[in-house]
Homo-oligomer: A and B are copies of this chain.
Amino acid sequence: MPYFDRLSARCAKVGALCVGLDPHPGVLQAWGVSDDLQGVETMALGVIDALGDHVACFKPQSAFFEIWGSRGISLLEKCISAIRDTGALTILDVKRGDIGSTMEAYARAYLSNGPLEVDAITVSPYLGFGSLTPAFQMAQAHDTGVYVLTRTSNQEGTDLQLGTTQGGHGIAQSIVDQAQEWNQSTGVNTVSLVVGGTHSDLGIDLTGFSSSLLIPGIGAQGGTISGLESSFADTPALLLPSVSREVLLAGPDPHRLHQAVDQVLTS
């Protein structure tokens, strides 16, 4: 079943929320574990175990596993497998972006059969939307998904993302439009977008976009679910808010993790 359909079914069942697995030093400290691979393992597997049947997706942040080299990636494989066992989906936050055979290699790494296969990944379009084509093709062939960074939640991104292409289109808008064209021409919502939930003015038109939107910036970065519903009132897209610190800092107690998720969902 295509990724978008699997995501929709999962959100209908447990609610539309993605929990980021960002084991940064502050989170590890809150959990009372050490800033090493053992600490990361305790925290990541603890969150998956506590929330696996309570949320639609987990979004492991690859950087925090890459710190530990091959041993960290081995733990990432373990987390992906643990998430799969719960029935939740994995959106691996890797923000990859390259050209030609290298982009194809990233697609092969994460979107087809292999030790790091996940349900979807994030990708970065600085080398042009077209350079991401091998990822879209691989995702389509394997019922996986791709989230293209479009309008990110941080302030430093605005100057570029709300700039203008050489051809005279808004940069973020041209990504929205090309993603929608891809999805329409193939008849499958393979291409999704990352759009931050922190902006009072998004600066892009999403009224024609019908796939899913991964929306970070909820919780610690200032956004709320009810705020989202008004910012994104005009789009038919599936809204998938993503929260990290706000939930993670409630651990390790599973009951408090559940409460934190419920609190975000009603924020």
Q: A residues bordering B, Cβ < 8 Å?
A: 22, 24-26, 61, 63-64, 66-71, 73-74, 76-77, 93, 95-106, 108-110, 114-116, 124-131, 149, 152-167, 171, 174
Q: Write out the residue numbers on chain B whose beta carbons fall within 8 Å of the beta carbon of A154.
A: 99-100, 127-128, 131
Q: In the assembly, what is the distance between CA of A105 and CA of B100, in Å?
A: 27
Query: Which of B96, B101, B127 sits near A24, CB closer than 8 Å?
Result: B101
Q: What is the distance, in angstroms, from A40's C-beta to the closest C-beta of chain B?
A: 11
Q: What is the distance, in angstroms, from A72's C-beta to the closest C-beta of chain B?
A: 8
Can you report 27 A-B residue pairs in the complex whose CB atoms are below 8 A from each other? A24-B101, A63-B98, A63-B102, A63-B105, A64-B102, A66-B106, A66-B116, A67-B105, A67-B109, A69-B74, A69-B114, A70-B115, A95-B97, A95-B98, A99-B154, A126-B152, A127-B157, A128-B155, A128-B156, A128-B158, A131-B157, A159-B166, A159-B174, A160-B165, A160-B166, A163-B164, A163-B166
Q: Which residue of B lies closest to A162 (CB)?
A: B166
Q: In the assembly, what is the distance between CA of A217 and CA of B31, in Å?
A: 47
Query: Which of B64, B77, B125, B128 sits near A105, CB closer than 8 Å?
Result: B64
- 9 residue pairs, one from A and one from B, having the closest CB atoms: A69-B115, A128-B156, A130-B156, A63-B105, A70-B74, A70-B73, A66-B109, A163-B165, A126-B126
Q: Write out the residue numbers on chain B whose beta carbons fall within 8 Å of the beta carbon of A61.
A: 102, 105
